[in-house]
Structure 1
Amino acid sequence: MKKVPLSSPQINSSDIEVVVEVLKSGRLSIGKYTEEFENSIRDFVGAKYAVAVSSGTSALHLILKASGFTEKSLLIVPSFTFVASANVALFEKGSVEFVDIEPDTLNTDSSHLEEVINKNSEKYENIYFMGVDVFGHPLEWDRIEAICNKYGVKIIEDSCEALGSEYKGKKAGSFGIAGAFAFYANKQITTGEGGIIVTNDEDIYKISKSLRNQGRGEGEGWLAHEYVGYNYRIDEMSAALGWSQMKRIDDIIGKRDKVAQRYNYLLSNLEVKTPVVKEYVTKMSWFVYVVQLPESVNRQKRKKIMEYLENNGIQVRNYFEPVHLQKPYRELGWKEGMLPITESVAERTLALPFYTDLIQEDQEYVVEKLKEALEIFA
């Protein structure tokens, strides 16, 4: 039986060589490659500063912490995202409000965002909006920025899935007070585990850099601490791998786009909704390829479709489960019916195998089996 994994990192000989070099050097943390990796991301995005950390989650957490988010703050975030986008507010004992999404891009619905801001504008010392570029598709930033500026809302860009995407020629990660990228093995480039903060704000840069390293002060002794910090450092092997992968980032993005366009063509005769890319997206850097199954498909039918594909060697996933319906947030009062678009879409999303070197033959097999599953179960 043919096997098609959901994702597969592209690792070449140069990647392996530089990681081995680090291992042989004996300098496995806070070495030259951490700085080199930071510089490569910083220059690629066009930011003034970059701070490499242990994960995308730690990047988002440090941005909140460094920018003054407290228990008297509110984070507004879409529920259609990875849970970390919301969890970081709870790390700091702040409050979370969820916002619904557009049914086509699956990004934040700007009209609902303004409603949520209005509803909460007098309740908190400050309000933040976590803008998630879902699956690599940038938000409609002109509209989002206008709304947030109107109400004095701080923007953090969760661009963990969008390295290389552009909104009207401007790179994802460069909107708001700071942005975050993540480099798990299914991302455009990988460090295994890892993330990075990009910002033009010197204070966020300096505080984040200290907080990731147990709150140590710049130029102080190794046991001198200015903040209650964290061990959020990226290790040197991971940083070296990321630096090596960044050398071919444009080629990787181009190859992933070809895979996505091939899916678009192969799926054109199936009753599924393929991903939408809006005209304001001047470059789409694909993270995953997620289709929406027909409206006749409910969770039970989707489960049967997924099982059929898995039984034929095709690894698939549902992307995403609404965060507001996860147990920690139900306990805060969230329940079904509060975000209707998010809940409806989440019942029918299906992530197909997608990665840089996915070949046409395997894609054709995936689409063939998906067609069979739809004929049986949809």
Structure 2
Amino acid sequence: MSAPAPIPLSQPSLTAHEREAVASVMQSTRLSMGPALERFEEQMAEHCGVDHAVGVSSGTAALHCIVRALDLPEGGTVITTPYSFVASSNVLLFEDLVPRFVDIDPATYNIDPARVEAAITPDTCAILAVDVFGRPAPWPRLRKIADAHDLALIADSCEALGASRCGTPVGSWGDAAGFGFYPNKQITTGEGGCITTNNAALAETCRSLRNQGRATRGRMRHVRLGYNYRLSELNAALGAAQLDRLDAILKARTRASTRYHDALAPLTDTLRRPPQTLPDAERSWFVYVIELRPPWIRTHRDALCDALRADGIGCAPYFPAIHLQPFYRERFGFREDAFPHCESVAARTLALPFFAEITETQICRVVDALHTHLPTCAPESNRMPLSTS
């Protein structure tokens, strides 16, 4: 009997609608900076409730353009989170800024606003917060802090398209927001990203930055140092078609999260499930991440990850702490216990297979594998049969 097909960690939701949109570009003679990009940007601005959207080649490019366009002082510090994908901090280093990490709220995984305010110094020029796993950051408090101290507020919303806080869409809270559309995101452009903002001058600068620093009017006139961060017509057409289906995709991902939530209920003594509802926010489901409860530590989590992968089940440790990445330790001298909440969470979180079209059968297989491997991978003091009631 053959082994069951592997279950990927993620996969995009693609239909004939997307394929037709991309094929239509191939029938044209315009493959860059054309009508598909314009349509994609208009849709993004509408979805995020802002005046301007600028399509770029990645979420990292979006954040980099924002940081650059804000013209933050060289050597200034930007308060940010150590619990994120590394790009949210790398973009600061691109511009000779210093990331000032503060610990997270372990209940939400998002940056702790009380620690943000306590960390402000005369060198602080901005706050960069992340909507971790599609759960909106505490934007009302962060906006209030930024305004009180005259700081720029940058939103890394790469994981949160479709989310909102207090009824306001993610993408409109900061001075500007960056989105990413890698194939594991809610929607994909293959590779791509987008900047959203209500600041017309910032949007104009970002359009110039993505296109080698050219003036947005006139040819071959370069008014600043820029980059090749353009989003092709093929990528933009795919993104626009995905945005046509955004509501359906988000609903499918929410249904998948509910199935996981219910199926994992018997295991809550061992693992923490992500909350299904938030008191003042609407989550956009990017990944389904479980947190193994103490006394689980990194070595036990990694053993579980290896066991699941051996069974053909995609999984990954989301996220490693940025400040403990080798490059950051070498450059800044970070050591363990610098941000205990972040490090504790990072050592015990695990992303399970999650995508819009995941089936109930696949989810049951993942949960059955967890029932099998949790007891054998658990800390010695915690090794006992798990309840299946």
Letter of the structure 2 residue corresponding to residue 101 of structure 1:
I
Which residue is equivalent to 2:384?
Answer: none
| Aligned AA (1:257) | T
How much has 1:190 moved relative to structure 2? 0.2
CA RMSD of aligned residues (A): 1.1
Once residues 147 and 371 of structure 1 are traced to their aligned partners in structure 2, the CA distance between those partners, rounded to angstroms, is: 45
**Residues 198-213 of structure 1: matches in 2 within 5 Å?**
198-213=196-211
Find out whether 1:230 has 2:233 as its counterpart: no
Q: Distance in 1 between matches of 2:105 and 2:372?
A: 29
Q: Deviations over 1:185-243 (max 9, x none)?
A: 0000000100000000011011000110011112212x211111110000110000000
Shift of 1:337: 1.0
SS at match of 1:269: helix
Query: What is aligned with 2:387?
Result: none
Amino acid paired to 2:359: I
Instruction: Give the equivalent residue in structure 2 for 1:100.
Output: 103
CA contact (8 A) 1:70 1:92 kept: no
**1:219 aligned to which of 217, 220, 225:** 217
What code does the residue aligned with 1:41 have? M
**5 Å matches for 1:62-211?**
62-117=65-120, 121-122=121-122, 124=123, 126-211=124-209
Question: Could you give the per-residue CA deviations for residues 7-47 of structure 1, whole angstroms, max 9, x where no partner exists?
Answer: 01011111111111112213111111000000000011110
Percent identical residues = 41
Q: Which runs of 5+ in 2 are unaligned?
A: 379-389
Q: How does 1:267-306 map to 2 (within 5 A)?
A: 267-270=264-267, 271-276=270-275, 277-281=277-281, 283-306=282-305
Q: 1:354 corresponds to which residue?
A: 354
8 Å Cα contact 2:17-2:241 kept in structure 1: yes
Counterparts of 2:293 and 2:96, CA distance in 1? 40
Q: Does the CA contact (< 8 Å) of 2:110 and 2:130 recur in 1?
A: yes
Q: Distance in 2 between matches of 1:297 and 1:278?
A: 26
1:32-71 alignment, distance < 5 Å: 32-71=35-74
Q: Distance in 1 between matches of 2:85 and 2:290?
A: 17
Aligned: 1:20 with 2:29: no
Q: By how many angstroms is 1:96 displaced?
A: 1.1
1:162-202: CA deviations, max 9, x gaps? 00001111101111100111100000000010000000001
Contact 2:73 2:125 in 1 (8 A): no
1: CA distance between counterparts of 2:95 and 2:299?
A: 37
* SS, match of residue 350 in structure 1: strand
Instruction: State the Cα distance separating 1:323 from its structure 2 match.
Output: 0.5
Q: Shift of residue 262 of structure 1?
A: 0.8
Separation in 1, partners of 2:196, 2:280: 22
Q: Determine the C-alpha separation between the residues in 2 that align with 1:32 and 1:278.
A: 38
> Do the aligned residues in 2 keep the contact of 1:305 with 1:377 (CA within 8 Å)?
yes
Q: Please report how far the alpha carbon of residue 73 of structure 1 lies from its aligned counterpart in structure 2 after TM superposition.
A: 2.0
Question: Quick one: distance in 1 between partners of 2:73 and 2:229?
Answer: 20
Show the counterpart of 1:9: 12
1:364 alignment partner in structure 2? 364
TM-score by length of 2: 0.93
Kindly provide the amino acid, as one letter, of the partner of residue 125 in structure 2.
I
One-letter amino acid matched to 1:373: H
Does the aligned pair in 1 maintain the 2:134–2:284 contact within 8 Å?
yes
Query: One-letter code of the match for 2:333?
Result: G
| Partner-residue secondary structure (3-state), 1:316 | coil
**For 2:79, what is the secondary structure of its paired residue?**
strand
Shift of 1:327: 2.0
Q: Which residue number corresponds to residue 325 of structure 2?
A: 326
Shift of 1:95: 1.1
Task: Provide the residue aligned with 1:376 in structure 2.
Answer: 376
- Once the two structures are superposed, residues 84-131 of structure 1 have per-residue CA deviations (whole angstroms, 9 ceiling, x without a partner) of 1001111011111111111111001111111211xxx22x2x511111
- TM-superposed deviation, 1:294: 2.1
Asked if the contact 1:140–1:280 (Cα under 8 Å) also holds between the matched residues in 2, the reply is: no
Q: Is the 8 Å Cα contact of residues 30 and 236 (structure 1) preserved in structure 2?
A: yes
SS in 2 for 1:25: coil
Deviation at 1:141, TM superposition (A): 1.8
Q: Please tell me the residue identity of whatever aligns with 2:285.
A: W
1:328-370 CA-partner distances (Å, limit 9, x unpaired): 2212121111100000110100000000011111001101101
User: Tell me, what secondary structure is at the counterpart of 1:62?
Assistant: helix
Q: Letter of the aligned partner of 1:149 in structure 2?
A: D
Q: Is the 8 A contact 2:131 2:159 kept in 1?
A: yes
